[in-house]
Chain A
Amino acid sequence: MKSELKNKFTLRLRSSSDKWIDSGFKNLSVAMATTVAIVLFSILIVVFIESKASIQNYGLNFLITSEWDPINNRYGAFTAIYGTVITSLVSLLIAIPLGIGTAILLTEQILPRQITEIIGLMVELLAAIPSVVLGLWAVFVMEPFIRPLLNYIHLHLGWLPIFSTEAVGPGLAPAILILVVMILPIITAISRDSLEQVPNRLREAAYGIGATRWCSLFNVILPAAISGITGGILLALGRAIGETMAVTMIIGNSNNFSWSLFAPGYTISALLANQFGEADGSQISSLMYAAFILMIMTLIINIFAQWLVKKLSLKY
């Protein structure tokens, strides 16, 4: 009787196929994980190799000249680099107060819960709108709408180099505004998470000694969440630098350098999107060089952002 029951457990001695599946599965998952690293390094290496010819030809001059002349094979990415830096920084400057303000509204029980939930949902949905649709909207709706406003600024503040040209259509300024729309949800979401992670007892402590809401926010809650919020801002900066479609559609795609925000310009990603399809030879290599610069910029910012966000999780 007893041995009969025992015999029913046919797998007491693991069959070789069982062992094979088990170890095979593990190795497979290791291989899949390794793929990520391989892809990441291949991207870096491929872009670098493809841009080598251009790096050798133009060296660092590429960064400070703004000529882009496929006929005579003279390339410089200064206009695109200026456009990338100025659009992402200015859009960040606008999006930071909006995003953090919204995050505070979402976490600090200022309005009734139902209203905050709707606002939170809408900000999340904003992040889901494809960038090309935002670009379409920017081209046909937003840019014509804000043009008179931009020209009003030009009329009164035109002596400032950044407002020195008339707004006649696509340009850096509408690109900046559409970038604000795109990075706002990132800043809001990460600031919201960071604020929610601040332990409630800190809030109570501040209110308990008679601090007002904003006093405790500025002195206790925001400082406690600051590294997470900064990390989120950096991630948003990385996104703004790399954002392509909406910007390409609204920035005007011009390599003529101008300091003015109202003039058409370029960003590196717009340059790539606009020219890559029809490029060949040394132009491809120069575009790859620009792509390499873009990649290094986003890499540095992202790594720094990750480091900051990690710092937050160690704090409490």
Chain B
Amino acid sequence: MIKKEKNKLNKLDYNIRLSRNICNKLLTYTIIVFSLISIIPLLLVLIYVLIKGGSQLNIDLFLLEPQPPGSQTGSAGGIGNAIIGTIIITAIASLIAVPIGVGGGIYLAEYSKGGFFSKFIRFGTNVLAGVPSIIAGVFIYAVVVVTKVIIGSSFSGVAGGMALSILMLPMVIKTTDEGLKLVSDDLRKGALGLGATMYTTIVEITLPHAFKSIATGIVLGLARAAGETAPLIFTALFSYYHISSFNDIFYEMSSLSVLIYNFALEPYSAQNQLAWAASFILIFIVLILNIFSRLFSRRKSY
């Protein structure tokens, strides 16, 4: 062995013909190609949405109601009510998911002592995060829409918001839990050592410290909820009309995502065009929320 090495000694030059070098180069190029393949869809989707949707931006798009397919006017109208609908449904979802999620996260991070119950809740949170979004829709359909438990309304914006909140809940719990766990224990001990109650410690010391990471999680949850469709198609359903009063949240409500779904499959090009325009707005909202959350998490507080 040593003898064999002796011949090669001093031959430190890079030898392109060595099988290991060829192999190495080949594999490296392969994964570069793989990564390019991975980002091509994003570029293509963004380009198409930008061209097909961005070209239709005008003031009517934001104000008008969409026209049913095949209507006489020839134009498909606008997506004003769908934008409002998406905002309202997402707001309802976060009104439900944020308090419950933050509360649950506080329990896991601050009160639980790693016993069976908290392990079980953490496990349940992860399982809930994996539940397909369509199942959340089916569930709310069965317990809210069919039974009409909410002041007698069947399909409604509220039901849609409830379905989305099931998807947001695990995200909010996880980020609250993880955000609070990152807060140094010294702060907690310092407050408790002064005779502060757990309540004061959490509300005035630990929660403000973890605010940024929790906010990041909530914003990401909002972005995910705003883009979801499956839970809405048979809970919030769809509407062609603007909402006019508060009570309208107990009736069918339109949303950008359901509008895209419905109009994409229509055989009328005016409606298809509107679906592209709605995609443009939806992607814009989702990306803004994502960038927003990135800004939140970049600026580290401590």
Contacts and interface: CB of A to CB of B under 8 A. Distances in A.
Whether the complex brings A and B within 8 Å at their CB atoms is answered yes
Interface of A: 14, 18-19, 21-22, 25-26, 28-37, 39-40, 42-43, 46-47, 50, 97-99, 101-102, 104-106, 110-111, 119, 122-123, 125-126, 128-137, 139-141, 181, 184, 188, 212-215, 235, 238-239, 241-245, 248-249, 269, 272-273, 276-277, 287-288, 291, 294-295, 298-299, 301-303, 305-306
Given A33-B121, A130-B257, A242-B135, A213 B28 contact: yes
Given A30-B107, A42-B139, A238-B130, 7 more contacts: A128-B223, A135-B260, A136-B275, A212-B23, A273-B134, A295-B132, A306-B123
B41 A35 contact: no
A128 B37 CA distance: 18
Contact of B127 (A21, A140, A302): A302
Contacts of B37: 98
B100 A32 contact: yes
B150 interface: no
Contact of A22 (B45, B166, B199): B199
Contacts of B121: 33-34, 36-37
B34, B100, B276: most-surrounded residue (chain A CB, <10 A)? B34
A36 B128 contact: yes
Interface in B7-31: 20-21, 23-24, 27-28, 30-31
6 contacts: A32-B104, A33-B104, A36-B100, A125-B290, A137-B48, A294-B135
Contacts of B223: 128
Q: Chain A interface mostly helix, strand, loop or mixed?
A: helix
Interface in B23-57: 23-24, 27-28, 30-32, 34-35, 37-39, 41-45, 48-49
B275 to A, nearest CB: 6
Given A110-B31, A245-B229, A128 B111 contact: no
A76 to B, nearest CB: 19
Interface centre among B42, B166, B197, B283 (most CB of A within 10 A): B42
A251 to B, nearest CB: 12
Contact of A212 (B24, B137, B141): B24
A28 B104 CA distance: 9
Interface string B100-143: 11111011101110000010110111111011111111110111
A21 B199 contact: yes
A305 B130 CA distance: 10
Interface in B282-298: 282-283, 286-287, 290
What is the predominant secondary structure among interface residues of chain B facing chain A? helix
Given A141-B48, A243-B132, A132 B260 contact: yes
B20 A215 contact: yes
B173 interface: yes
Given A244-B230, A276-B234, A40 B48 contact: no
A292 B276 CA distance: 34
Nearest to B133: A244
A141 B198 CA distance: 56
Given A32-B103, A130-B257, A137-B49, A104 B31 contact: yes
Contacts of A42: 139, 143
A261 B87 CA distance: 39
Given A105-B35, A137-B44, A249 B131 contact: no
Given A33-B104, A277-B233, A26 B111 contact: yes
Contact of A123 (B38, B127, B279): B38
Nearest to A241: B132
B138 A272 contact: yes
Contacts of B138: 47, 272, 276, 287-288, 291
Nearest to A238: B130
A133 B279 contact: yes
A39 B121 CA distance: 11
Contacts of B108: 33
A158 B41 CA distance: 28
A34 B118 CA distance: 10
From B32, B202, B203, B264, name the one whose CB has the most chain A CB atoms within 10 angstroms.
B264
Contacts of A306: 123, 126-127
Contacts of A215: 20
Contacts of B118: 33
Nearest to A141: B48
Given A35-B100, A119-B39, A128-B223, A98 B287 contact: no
B99 interface: yes
A282 B135 CA distance: 18
B268 interface: no
B266 to A, nearest CB: 11
A101 B103 contact: no
Given A26-B111, A133-B45, A245-B261, A110 B230 contact: no
B272 interface: yes
A244 B138 CA distance: 12
B261 A249 contact: yes
A149 B110 CA distance: 57
A142 B110 CA distance: 49
